[in-house]
Structure 1
Amino acid sequence: MTAPKGKQRTLAVVSAGLSQPSSTRLLADKLAAATVARLVDENIETRVVTYELRDYAQDVMNNMLTGFASPRLETMIDAVTAADGLIAVTPIFTTSYSGLFKSFFDVIDNRSLTDQPVLIGATAGTARHSLALDFALRPMFTYLHAVVVPTSVFAASEDWGSGDARVATLPARIERAAGELAALVARSDRSARVLDPFELPAGFNPAGLGPSR
């Protein structure tokens, strides 16, 4: 379906999966596809840009140490922060998001996600880690002033199996979360905003140093 002129949106997808392929990327792709389908129903054409943080790990670490983003990381940050909506998915390690996931959002200016619609997702080996979404991810994005949709999506290893009644709930959760994100993205105009030509580069730290640790 072709969207009417002017009804176009950009959706950024950030996956912090460490392996390739990964269940984290699989979940991110399913969330993105469901969101795009909902936006098509509203006659909105969506451009999806997907980033695997594993490909930017060295750039993120260098940014933390020096206070400066590499050109490729700066381009990625600009694309993520300018998108009309964001899908952010991480594996859960030791009851929280991965270090790479957190480090990426640490190097983004803490004002750049203000009012951005965000859908959060996570993967882990067992369902006992599912609370990390509400105790780790949601507070982080709330601190960054993003608008996090009410439904978050967690997928444990058994959710990708077959023949279990629990498996049937994952598609329903994906659809519900995608519908919530699509409703917010449809009203967003972030990707159409005119950028300030004097705005400092993404990830720039005037002191030339990363955060004190």
Structure 2
Amino acid sequence: MRLVAVSAGLSTPSGTRLLADRLAEAVHGELEPQGYEVESRVVELRELAVAIANHLVTGFPPPPLAAAIDAVTGADGLIAVTPVFSASYSGLFKSFFDLIDPGALTGRPVLVAATGGTARHSLVLEHALRPLFAYLRAVVVPTGVYAASEDWGTGGDAYAEGLPARIRRAGSELGALMAARSADPEPGDEISALERQLSDLRFD
């Protein structure tokens, strides 16, 4: 299975990249005990910023950007993580996904996540990220993960799950959707099965 994480973090080291890595580890932890072999890749948008801007102007992606787009559209599961800017996803994050064909992620399982300095922006998952991927016709897992600065290293309390628990739950949900999708028959298989059913029919 191909798992791709898109990280729109700008700094080095990046909390956004760290969250993407932790989420990818959680997906591996869900799928590998079931016998699935998972190949992971992280797309760092910071490294593609100039190429993204040029592509928006010229319409022609250079090879590294084209490879990143192909990786995202060819993934069996996608993790999308952005820092919060002005109460929404970053411009770099949105610019990259503006380059994705609206039908290219149809039915693709996606886990959305974001990082920010304060928990006040946690609703960015619901008012910005989910609508974006709904437009792209992806299937977004129920649990989105928002990590504020104070969430790192906390285990939660009796009333709320800590960040590690939310990461595990979201990773488990994405892994389950990826496994279910891989178990679905290919379109050609569905047609063959239908043909077999029709050929078995007997008419009086």
What TM-score comes out, normalization by structure 2 length?
0.85
1:137–1:163 Cα change, 3 Å = closer
Separation in structure 1 between the aligned mates of residue 141 and residue 161 of structure 2, nearest angstrom: 22
Matched, 1:45 2:37: yes
Gaps of at least 5 residues in structure 1 are 1-8, 194-213
Which residue in 1 is equivalent to 2:54?
62
Which residue in 2 is equivalent to 1:13?
5
Aligned pairs, number: 183
Separation in structure 1 between the aligned mates of residue 179 and residue 52 of structure 2, nearest angstrom: 31
Task: Compute the displacement of 1:161 (Å).
Answer: 4.1
Task: Compute the displacement of 1:164 (Å).
Answer: 6.8
Separation in structure 2 between the aligned mates of residue 142 and residue 167 of structure 1, nearest angstrom: 27
Separation in structure 2 between the aligned mates of residue 37 and residue 84 of structure 1, nearest angstrom: 16
Q: Which has the higher helix share?
A: 2
Separation in structure 1 between the aligned mates of residue 181 and residue 10 of structure 2, nearest angstrom: 31
Task: Compute the displacement of 1:23 (Å).
Answer: 0.6
4+ aligned runs moved over 3 Å, structure 1: 161-168
Which residue in 1 is equivalent to 2:92?
100
Task: Compute the displacement of 1:42 (Å).
Answer: 1.3
Task: Compute the displacement of 1:97 (Å).
Answer: 0.1
Which of 181, 184, 187 does residue 177 from structure 2 map onto? Answer: 184
Secondary structure of 2:134's counterpart equals helix
Task: Compute the displacement of 1:12 (Å).
Answer: 0.3
Note if contact 2:154-2:163 (Cα within 8 Å) is conserved in structure 1. no
Separation in structure 1 between the aligned mates of residue 170 and residue 161 of structure 2, nearest angstrom: 15
Rg larger for: 2
Note if contact 2:82-2:113 (Cα within 8 Å) is conserved in structure 1. yes
Note if contact 1:161-1:167 (Cα within 8 Å) is conserved in structure 2. no
Task: Compute the displacement of 1:187 (Å).
Answer: 2.6
1:163–1:27 Cα change, 3 Å = closer
Which residue in 1 is equivalent to 2:194?
none
RMSD: 1.9
Task: Tell me which of the two structures has the higher relative contact order, counting C-alpha pairs closer than 8 angstroms and 6 or more residues apart.
Answer: 1
Which of 123, 143, 148 does residue 131 from structure 1 map onto? Answer: 123
Task: Compute the displacement of 1:168 (Å).
Answer: 5.8
Matched, 1:170 2:159: no
Which residue in 2 is equivalent to 1:5?
none
Matched, 1:115 2:107: yes
Secondary structure of 1:45's counterpart equals coil
Gaps of at least 5 residues in structure 2 are 187-204
